[in-house]
Amino acid sequence: MLQEEENHSRVETNEKKGHLKIDFGRQGGLVLAYIIVLLGYYGIVVNIVMVKDWISLTTQTWISFTELDRTILFWTYEAYVDTFFLPFILLFVTCFLLTYKEEIPHYGIKASIWLVPFIIIEAFIFYTIMFGFSLEPIILQFGNWQGYIHIIILFATTLSGAICGMKVKQLIESKRKIQ
């Protein structure tokens, strides 16, 4: 017994120090989900809206992003019908998977809720890159009732996706216990 403890302590002291080991299982999935939302959510909205505008402009072969409706970055719910609800579905599925993969569902729900400020900040960043710095984004998002409708829709989508992920996981685990 004493010899086993000495061998165990000897093994621990022989390891090299200074290496930082991070388990990317949970953090990697979270970062991947945020990147998917970063590229997919606004990518779908802007590309489909720009294609729709490009098709209506038969004389031009290229459409500039400056001709894009500036409110579409802050009121994306207006483009849901044009985009066949793909941004809505992407956000719902991402939140579903974030919660479904977690052992403790509240972590997934919390990560899903944090997607809403991430999407709103992303709109401010995209607006600043495309059109320059101004106070118009703050007015569009927080000074207009449509901005608040957008926030409510985002929270409802993320919460419904996260709760569905939690309930499906609970249902599957309860069926496993029965068998």
The secondary structure of the chain as a DSSP string is -HHHHHHHHHHHHHSPSS-----HHHHHHHHHHHHHHHHHHHHHHHHHHHHHHHHH-TT-S---GGGS-GGGGT-GGGGTTTTTTHHHHHHHHHHHHHHHT-SSHHHHHHHHHTHHHHHHHHHHHHHHHHH-S-SHHHHHHHSSHHHHHHHHHHHHHHHHHHHHHHHHHHHHHHHHHH-
Structure-block tokens of residue 70: 């500036």
* Residue range 65-105, pLDDT digits in tens: 666 777 888 888 888 888 889 999 999 999 999 999 888 89
**Residue 19 backbone zone (phi > 0: left; psi -120 to 50: alpha; other: beta):** beta
Whether the predicted pLDDT of 166 surpasses 60: yes
Does residue 145 sit within a domain? yes
Sign of CA dihedral 156, 157, 162, 164: positive
Q: What is the pLDDT of residue 25?
A: 67
Residue with the larger pLDDT of the pair 124 and 38 = 124
Does residue 132 sit within a domain? yes
Look at the chain and report how many structural domains it folds into: 1
Does residue 13 sit within a domain? no
Whether the predicted pLDDT of 10 surpasses 60: no
Does residue 21 sit within a domain? no
Does residue 76 sit within a domain? yes
* Residue range 19-42, pLDDT digits in tens: 655 556 667 878 888 888 888 988
Instruction: Give the global pTM.
Output: 0.78
* Residue range 127-155, pLDDT digits in tens: 898 888 999 999 999 999 999 999 999 99
Domain residues for the domain of 38 are 27-173
Q: What is the pLDDT of residue 88?
A: 93
Q: What is the pLDDT of residue 131?
A: 85
Whether the predicted pLDDT of 5 surpasses 70: no
Q: How many CA atoms lie within 13 A of 76 on its CB side?
A: 28
Does residue 9 sit within a domain? no
Does residue 6 sit within a domain? no
Give CA–CA dist 164/91, Å, rounded. 13
- Indicate the pLDDT class of residue 58, thresholds 50, 70 and 90: low
- Indicate the pLDDT class of residue 167, thresholds 50, 70 and 90: very high
Does residue 5 sit within a domain? no
Q: What is the pLDDT of residue 73?
A: 82
